[in-house]
Structure 1
Amino acid sequence: MSQNYQNHKRFYPLFHFFTIPLTVVGLGLAIYAYVAIPTIITGLIVLAFFLIAIVAVMARMFALKAQDRAARAEEKLRYFILTGKSLPADLKLGQILALRFASDEEFLALVDRAVTEKLSADDIKKSIKNWRGDYHRI
């Protein structure tokens, strides 16, 4: 299926629909057990589930940050290849990440519009006519 504005947001089923819900349910049950039977063991179980939840969320955040850095580097290189100049420094990360969906034909014009009109990432995505899918991001 080709990507477009309506379907470009991605979910990683194992994380979004399994790991997080199971961790939340486990944390809820652990808190219930601690309230019902307040012992050191049930307290440690609550702590363990809380730490698991934090680690799961942090792992996702770290993966997204790494992907953001790679995408930013790719778009800087793409702009340099097309223009021989550095990507304008006024662009925010969200704008750069949105620009990755633009085809080469509309990329430069969208960069200029993003800088001059201060387009939001969502506005940039909505302005793209020839969508270039990003199938590697999870």
Structure 2
Amino acid sequence: MKQQNYHNHRKFYPPHHFIYLPLLILLEVFGIYKIWDDPVNKLTWILFSIVIFLFFYLAFMTRQHYALGLQNRMVILEFKQRYFEIFSLRSDEIVEKLKFDQIAALRFTYDDEFKELLYKALHENISGDEIKKSIKNWRADQLRI
């Protein structure tokens, strides 16, 4: 597996991203085409297109909602645990001051950079993307959803 860094840290689920969703998109395009190509069955093709769109929307939103919600909770808990291990202090007050994208970006740092970039996030309000770009020694997260 390639070493993870800023440019390749996003993850795809091939059956979902490269088979199921493209198939739904093709069916949707086909249905819309048939609306104009088959005027006799126009209502049927409109209903077909609506149903395919709803399948697409449901698949996309359900997957995103559950997976990202759970992942976000885990990332925050991981941050709290790591903060406690490094500073031996509770992190509730710190978590309230940070945005989620900052917390998520800090998980890609090792402990020495974690302290420095956490300070910048708190005092200079740098974004999660800026934190990721500032990381010198990337700590890969291979277990993300």
What 5-or-longer segments of structure 2 have no aligned partner? Answer: none
Give 1:60 shift: 2.8
Q: Please report the TM-score for the alignment, with normalisation by the length of structure 2.
A: 0.85
Deviations 1:66-110 (A, max 9, x none): 212211211122112221131512110011110010112221221
Residue 101 of structure 1 contacts residue 134 of structure 1 at CA under 8 Å; is this kept in 2?
Answer: yes
Matched, 1:22 2:29: no
Residue 79 of structure 1 contacts residue 108 of structure 1 at CA under 8 Å; is this kept in 2?
Answer: no
Matched, 1:42 2:45: yes
Separation of aligned partners in 1, 2:137 and 2:72: 22
Task: Return the match for 1:106 from 105, 110, 113.
Answer: 113
Give 1:42 shift: 2.0
Q: Please report the TM-score for the alignment, with normalisation by the length of structure 1.
A: 0.89
The residue aligned with 2:70 is 66
Aligned residues: 138
Larger mean Cα displacement after TM superposition, 83-92 or 33-42: 33-42
Task: Return the match for 1:129 from 112, 121, 136.
Answer: 136
Give 1:35 shift: 2.7
What 5-or-longer segments of structure 1 have no aligned partner? Answer: none
Give 1:39 shift: 3.9
Identity of aligned residues (%): 42
Separation of aligned partners in 1, 2:20 and 2:76: 28
Matched, 1:82 2:86: yes
* Structure richer in helix, relative to its length: 2
SS of structure 1 residue aligned to 2:3: coil
